[in-house]
Amino acid sequence: MPLVPFAALPDHGRLWVFPVSRFLDEAERSRTLAVVDGFLEQWAAHGHPLRSGREFRVGRFLLVGVDVDAEAPSGCSIDALMGRLRALGAEMGATFIDHAPVWYQDGDEVRLRCAQLLAAAGDVVGARDRAARLTVCADKVVAGGAHLLAGRLAGRAKELPAAVAHWLSALELGQGGPEVHGLLGAHYHRVGEHAQAVRHLRERLRQGPPDPSLARALIRSHVALGELNAAREQLVGLVAQGGLDEQAERLITELARSEARRER
């Protein structure tokens, strides 16, 4: 069976942390785990079962992990997991999918940091500072979430070096995933650091749903690096996804010109 004990998963596997918007009692936790187990037992990527596990912690956090050595999750399989948890949350009057808050443990209680409330009120700098204070937390889940939020807020404040540093730290702590790869890839593409752009954009497009604008940025970064075969492969994929618009047609022209220059 693809479902295994959470402790049996490797440390380098993929991990998702889903904070529940309210405390779940024992019966609700049992129901949640039963639903998640039923999903994970059938969870697959491109027809291949995913070796996965789950765990509930402090009545508030659902952890789902995947052994990427056995089979890596696809964008569609991740979307299916998110969809099932959204539906479960709607049935229970709770939310599992909300990346904005930063949660932390205060003694025996799990609390919600108010950084996102400050941001909603327009105090982006104050919110960023509050989130940044939590990045030193020993709990990797809390620290990673704090880096993710601090990066978003630094980006809104146009403090791009700080945003990039927080996003990279979030990735190191296993938080952010496709979203952060997309943000980093777009940033590196804009500033002309094309090797880094290719690395993060490829991860974003591999892990997340199709995004024609990011695919075009990836193609241009490949061309800038002289990686024309890789650019052509990405362009074929973009066209297959229905992304053949004026920008894609310009990319075809740019690629043809680059190939002609190389053959001279």
Count how many domains the chain has.
Answer: 3
Q: Stretch 138-153: mean pLDDT, rounded?
A: 72
Question: How does strand 109-113 pair with strand 102-106?
Answer: antiparallel
pLDDT digits (tens, 9 = 90+) for 101-141: 666 565 666 555 545 544 544 555 665 666 666 565 555 66
Percent of the chain beyond pLDDT 70? 73
Provide the domain limits for residue 120: 99-175
The domain boundary residue, chosen from 145, 175, 205: 175
pLDDT, tens digit, 9 for 90 and up, residues 63-105: 999 998 898 888 889 989 999 998 998 888 888 886 656 665 6
Distances (CA, A) of 259 to 224, 228, 229, 234, 264: 12, 7, 10, 15, 9
Compute the mean pLDDT over every residue in the chain, rounded to the nearest whole number: 79
In a domain, 1, yes or no: no
Q: What is the CATH number of the domain that holds 146?
A: 1.25.40
208-258 residue pLDDT tens: 888 888 888 888 888 888 887 887 787 777 767 665 555 655 656 666 666
Residues 192/33, Cβ–Cβ less than 8 Å: no
**Residue that wins the pLDDT comparison between 130 and 7:** 7
pLDDT at 223: 82
pTM reported for the whole predicted model: 0.50
Is the pLDDT assigned to residue 261 strictly greater than 90? Answer: no
Give the mean model confidence (pLDDT) for residues 168-175. 85
- CA-CA distance, 87 to 80, in Å (whole number)? 11
Q: Could you tell me if residue 51 is inside a domain?
A: yes
